[in-house]
Amino acid sequence: MAKILAIESSCDETAVAITDDGKLLANVVATQIAVHEKFGGVMPEIASRLHLENITVCLQQALDESKIRLEDLDAIAVTRGPGLIGCLHVGLQAAKTLAMVYDKPLIPVHHLAGHIYANEYIGTLKFPLLCVVVSGGNTELVYMKGHMDFEIIGQTKDDAVGECFDKVARVLGLPYPGGLPIDQHAKLGKHTYNLPHPNAGDGKYDFSYSGLKTAVINLANSLKMKGEAINVDDMARSFQDVAIGMVVDNAMKAAKDYHVVQIVLAGGVSANSYLREQMKRRVEGTGIDLVVPPLWCTTDNAAMIAKVAEHLYERKYFAPLSLGVDPNWKIDEQLTLLK
């Protein structure tokens, strides 16, 4: 094992973490959410500017907290993608500079691999496993035969599930981002609205959310025309049942077919209480182990990047200083990048 410094800057959090033999010594996150809230979403140019303003401040703070000197590190890890290109650049340049100055190995990490491996802070990954990656930008089922071996076996054909939550929240007049408010209203409601279970087509474990979103919008429209009020609690509940139900159904189907011993949740939507509850209920009696990430791991941080880097360090998976970012990097290319 090793002393690793990791940098994450793929979206709207500037983050630096330091681990020593897997132990988290510093986990600094400078969030930009308050700035972007004003605009109702992340503004890439502004996010890039803030990363540059924050980056060395975060590095300094992480060194202070961990009491580790840069010279003593064994490797520098960085999120190479996917993410916003201008934002990724800042983290990459900082990581490359540190690696160059102190002749340390540079480890490129996939952002979603980070979300998956964040679960190692609370448990041990057991293979074969199925990872349910659900966030504002991703809805994927990732099958893993062993460490760092990622195979996408199911994904969304259109919208990501988190995106769908945001749109529906807007129709119901709830704030952005929509995940938490829908979750809260759903707890108060009943499943009274009839919403279709969209068919994702050919892929056995694929998802589709645009149809469900349309159904909610059309239903809201027609109620409005008839002058009937929408029961927000009931609509949130009806929607969430279907949206999360699709994740749970596909995950359980894939878990059975692939004979996995463990299911791991990852990404922002894994904070959803109904998803957590349903998955717990459905794995009961199946012998499948369920790992639910702590809430701090469902948002972006660099601790999760360091976790992936520990595994890559053992494999001596080191990139040259000419490494570039890749805003569309695919997770199954995590290990093939340097081949």
Partner 1 sequence: MLWLGIDTSDKNLFVCLYRDNECLALTCYEAWQRQSEYLVEDVEKVFASAKVKKTDLQAVIAAKGPGSYTGVRIGLTVAKTLSFALKLPLFLVSSLEILQQYPKPSICLSNARSKRSYFGVYEGGKVLVEDCIKTNDEVRAYIAEHPEYVLCGDIAYLGYDSSAYLPAENFYRCLDDAHRCNEPLSASPVYLKDDYGTTNMKTIVRKSIPSDISRILEIEEACFVPPYDEKTLLYELTGNPFSHVYSALVDGEVVGYIDFMITFNSATINRIAVKEEFRRKGVGNLLLGQVIKDCEAEKDEEVEYLTLEVRASNEKAIRFYKKHKFQDVTVKKGYYDDGEDAIYMTRCLIHG
Q: What span, in angstroms and rounded, lies between the C-alpha atoms of 268 and 198?
A: 22
Counting contacts by CB under 8 A, is residue 321 touching partner 1? Answer: yes
Pick out residues in 193-212 that bind partner 1 (CB under 8 A). 210
Counting contacts by CB under 8 A, is residue 217 touching partner 1? Answer: yes
Please identify which residue in 213, 283, 299, 317 interacts with partner 1, judged by CB under 8 A: 213
- Of all helices (H) and strands (E), which one includes residue 62? helix 44-66
Counting contacts by CB under 8 A, is residue 81 touching partner 1? Answer: no
Counting contacts by CB under 8 A, is residue 173 touching partner 1? Answer: yes
Yes or no: say if 76 and 319 are a contact pair by the CB < 8 Å rule: no
Min separation Cβ 69 and partner 1, Å: 10
Counting contacts by CB under 8 A, is residue 39 touching partner 1? Answer: yes
Sign for the pseudo-dihedral over CA of 12, 123, 241, 114: positive
Pick out residues in 127-166 that bind partner 1 (CB under 8 A). 158-159
Residue 215 in 3-state DSSP?
helix
Q: Which is nearer to partner 1, 60 or 184 (CB)?
A: 60
- Using CB under 8 A, which of the segments 17-25, 37-45, 114-122, 283-291 binds partner 1? 37-45
Q: What span, in angstroms and rounded, lies between the C-alpha atoms of 64 and 286?
A: 46
175 Cβ contact partners less than 8 Å away, ≥ 6 residues apart: 169, 181
User: What HEC string does 133-152 produce?
Assistant: EECCCCEEEEEECCCCCCEE
Min separation Cβ 5 and partner 1, Å: 11
Q: What span, in angstroms and rounded, lies between the C-alpha atoms of 254 and 248?
A: 10
Min separation Cβ 67 and partner 1, Å: 17
Q: What span, in angstroms and rounded, lies between the C-alpha atoms of 36 and 84?
A: 14
Min separation Cβ 51 and partner 1, Å: 8
Strand 129-134 relative to strand 262-266, pairing: parallel
Q: What span, in angstroms and rounded, lies between the C-alpha atoms of 96 and 119?
A: 27
Min separation Cβ 284 and partner 1, Å: 37
Please identify which residue in 1, 21, 22, 56 interacts with partner 1, judged by CB under 8 A: 56
Please identify which residue in 25, 141, 172, 219 interacts with partner 1, judged by CB under 8 A: 172
Q: What span, in angstroms and rounded, lies between the C-alpha atoms of 301 and 299?
A: 7
Counting contacts by CB under 8 A, is residue 324 touching partner 1? Answer: yes
Min separation Cβ 189 and partner 1, Å: 18
Min separation Cβ 119 and partner 1, Å: 31
Residues that bind partner 1 (CB under 8 A): 38-40, 45, 48-49, 52-53, 55-57, 59-60, 70, 86, 89-90, 92-94, 96-102, 158-159, 170-173, 210, 213-214, 217-218, 220-221, 320-325
